[in-house]
């Protein structure tokens, strides 16, 4: 991994306008094109804001930066900067790790095989993996249950509300654990987001799957979901300890 540090020198009264500008233009543009924001900080005197971005390597950074520069959000950001002074100067530099500091935690992601009444599957194409269609989903935030995270991600990425019916598979990929649910479309027209380039319902089966899902690790997840075999799922909250939701495909539906 490589890291890029961007330091903005600002006037204290410009801290909030720059923060809004960052979240409206810079953050969504880089994220949808494949960058990851490590964090963003402001000094106590409110004269500097620092953002640190993570990239797999320098080559990927160059590819991502090229997509960022061509994006409509970049053009709008440039126009916004010409209209008002948001910062005095910006310094950019690359950082390299001085050692290996592995975290014991795993990254948890969720995705869903969601079908409509015509048994077409909901698929998305993202900006940073535009070579393939895939199931909608994303990362689980702190404190979220798996099912709540997936419903949120699908709504954000596609505009679709869904009903979930159970888990069809659990997959390990390096330090990432991926859980796949099966579900059905509840309501809402499809709508791309800052992360998704295209969204559609598509009729897929074993004969045409490879034409849409070009990455093998994603194909196996879809094939497992197509079989429709689900395992029980429970979600609990703590303090107080309470069952939030349970699904047992052999006994009762989601409630």
Q: If we measure between CA atoms, which residue out of 198, 201, 111, 106 comes closest to residue 152?
A: 111
Predicted pLDDT at 170: 95
**What's the CA gap between 195 and 192, in Å, rounded?**
8
Domain boundaries of the chain, sorted by first residue: 2-95, 107-247
Same CATH fold assignment for domains 2-95 and 107-247: no
The CA distances from residue 87 to 40, 48, 65, 188, in Å, are 15, 9, 21, 40
Predicted pLDDT at 213: 93
pLDDT tens digits, 128-172 = 888 899 999 988 887 889 999 999 999 999 999 999 989 999 999
pLDDT tens digits, 50-106 = 999 999 889 999 999 999 999 999 999 999 888 888 899 999 999 988 877 666 578
pLDDT at 113 over 80: yes
Predicted pLDDT at 253: 46
pLDDT tens digits, 179-227 = 999 999 987 788 888 888 899 999 999 999 999 999 988 999 999 999 8
Give yes or no for a contact between 148 and 139, defined as CB atoms under 8 angstroms apart: no
- Residue bearing the bigger pLDDT, 23 or 106: 23
Q: Which two tokens stand for residue 48?
A: 């500097």
Q: Is 28 exposed, middle or buried (0-12, 13-18, 19+ CB in 10 A)?
A: middle
Q: Which architecture characterizes domain 107-247 according to CATH? A: Alpha-Beta Complex (3.90)
CATH, range 2-95: 3.30.70.100
Average pLDDT value for residue range 108-126? 93
Predicted pLDDT at 160: 92
Q: If we measure between CA atoms, which residue out of 235, 229, 238 comes closest to residue 113?
A: 229
Confidence of residue 251 (pLDDT cuts 50, 70, 90): low
pTM for the model stands at 0.65
**What's the CA gap between 140 and 134, in Å, rounded?**
18
């Amino acid at each position: 991994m490589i890291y890029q540090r961007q330091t903005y020198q600002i006037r204290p009264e410009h801290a909030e306008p720059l923060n809004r500008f960052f979240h409206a233009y810079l953050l969504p543009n880089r994220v949808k094109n494949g960058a990851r924001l490590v964090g963003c900080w402001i000094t106590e005197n409110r004269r500097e804001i620092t953002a640190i971005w993570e990239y797999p390597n320098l080559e990927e950074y160059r590819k991502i930066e090229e997509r960022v520069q061509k994006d409509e959000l970049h053009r709008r950001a440039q126009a916004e900067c010409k209209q008002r002074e948001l910062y005095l100067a910006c310094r950019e530099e690359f950082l390299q790790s001085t050692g290996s500091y592995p975290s014991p935690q795993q990254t948890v992601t969720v995705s869903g095989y969601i079908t409509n009444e015509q048994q077409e599957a909901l698929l998305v194409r993202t900006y940073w993996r535009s070579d393939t269609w895939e199931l909608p989903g994303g990362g689980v935030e702190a404190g979220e249950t798996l099912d709540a995270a997936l419903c949120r991600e699908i709504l954000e990425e596609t505009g679709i509300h869904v009903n979930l019916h159970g888990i069809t598979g659990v997959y390990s990929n390096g330090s990432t654990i991926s859980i796949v649910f099966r579900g059905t479309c509840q309501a809402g027209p499809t709508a791309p987001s800052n992360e998704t380039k295209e969204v559609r319902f598509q009729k897929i089966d074993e004969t045409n799957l490879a034409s849409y899902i070009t990455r093998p690790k994603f194909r196996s997840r879809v094939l497992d979901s197509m079989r429709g075999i689900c395992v029980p799922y429970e979600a609990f909250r703590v303090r107080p300890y309470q069952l939030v939701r349970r699904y047992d495909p052999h006994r009762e539906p989601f409630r």
